[in-house]
Copies of this chain bind each other. A is one copy, B any other.
Amino acid sequence: MKIVLDAMGSDEHPAPDVEGAVLAAREYKETIILVGDEARIKAELVKHKTDGLSIEVVHASQAVAMTDKPGTVGRGKPDSSMHVGMRLVKEGGADAFVTMGNTGAALAIATLHVLRRISGVYRPALSAILRLQERSMILLDIGANADCKPEWMAQFALMGSLYAEHALKNNKPRVGLLSNGEEAGKGSALVQETAELLLTGGVNFIGNVEPKEVLKGGVDVAVMDGFSGNVMLKTMEAFGSALFGLIRQELMADSRSKLAGLLAKPAFRRVYRQVDPFEIGGAPLLGVDGVVIIGHGRSNGIAVKNAIRQARNAVNGRIVPAIRQGLSTNAQAAVADGFGEQG
């Protein structure tokens, strides 16, 4: 298997990206193709032991910045590491593309310019993967589509369910629909119409769920519109970091608390590992015609390695053929809505 890694992705690129590539090549014994500024990548690579590892470098003359606008970068930087890397996947030279870079840009370049949608997909969805009690679950959409239609949401449910089954190895994944109250009949008009579509089959729909149910691991797939999904994910990040900040502050307040903090370090490390997004590394952009995994900009080498593991699971699970197959047998495919044809 060959996995392309965008070496220009993370906030501190290319150091964490190259480190992650080396770690992944060593642990997974796959070929990692680093795409980006060749000189800078090679200057990083010499800092690592790479004997016997399968690491290739492909040059790209441009790089997408975190501040680049998704709407303009697709045409504006046609030789960016994202373009070059995704083209390798498109043309069969690699199996997956992984980036820690600008999410909106990766979404636009994948969807509109290079990989395009799998035939029949209304809209690709960004996902997040949470790991709770040794079980992985997928949330989608978490931000690609601020305004959704019920039939898009039903497709998110199908794609997420296939990902949970094929890449996360959850048997008969339970699909829940995020709502403000669990009773049928509650929820926005969008939720109510989506729930009706989900009841007609294709996925193992267990009903509407509130955030509590999702965070308890009561579902394997949590379906949501990109606006409230984004709010949910960012609330977790912000609240978690605020809470850890508060705990750190109070454990510094006096000598008794300081001693407690010192003794509690291993316990806190165990807690942190269970909520650390870097343990997952990245999550798939579902619905595009190729495996694309997007991670956090502030990733370290371990997070990059874990994102590459996610890509490997997706490739091994043959997620793209599974979605193509799933769309045709579930009659949920978009016939022709003109989206994405302008790229």
Residues of chain B contacted by A186 (CB below 8 angstroms)? 146
Q: List 26 A-B contacts (CB under 8 A).
A: A146-B188, A146-B191, A147-B189, A180-B226, A180-B227, A180-B231, A191-B227, A211-B231, A211-B235, A211-B237, A212-B238, A215-B238, A224-B231, A228-B228, A231-B232, A231-B235, A239-B239, A243-B243, A243-B271, A246-B274, A251-B264, A251-B267, A256-B263, A257-B263, A260-B261, A261-B264
**In residues 261-298 of chain A, which contact B (Cβ within 8 Å)?**
261-264, 266-268, 270-271, 274-275
Residues of chain B contacted by A237 (CB below 8 angstroms)? 211-212
B275 engages A243 (CB within 8 Å): yes
Give A263 to B41 CA distance when docked, in angstroms.
Answer: 48
Taking residues whose C-beta sits less than 8 angstroms from the other chain, chain A's interface range is 35 or more
Give A234 to B222 CA distance when docked, in angstroms.
Answer: 15
Among candidates B216, B227, B228, B236, residue contacting A187 with C-beta atoms closer than 8 Å: B227
Say yes or no: is A1 at the interface (Cβ < 8 Å to chain B).
no
Say yes or no: is A184 at the interface (Cβ < 8 Å to chain B).
no
Q: Chain A 69-85, CB within 8 Å of chain B: the 1/0 string?
A: 00000000000000000
Among candidates B181, B187, B243, B257, residue contacting A240 with C-beta atoms closer than 8 Å: B243
Q: Which residue of B lies closest to A146 (CB)?
A: B188
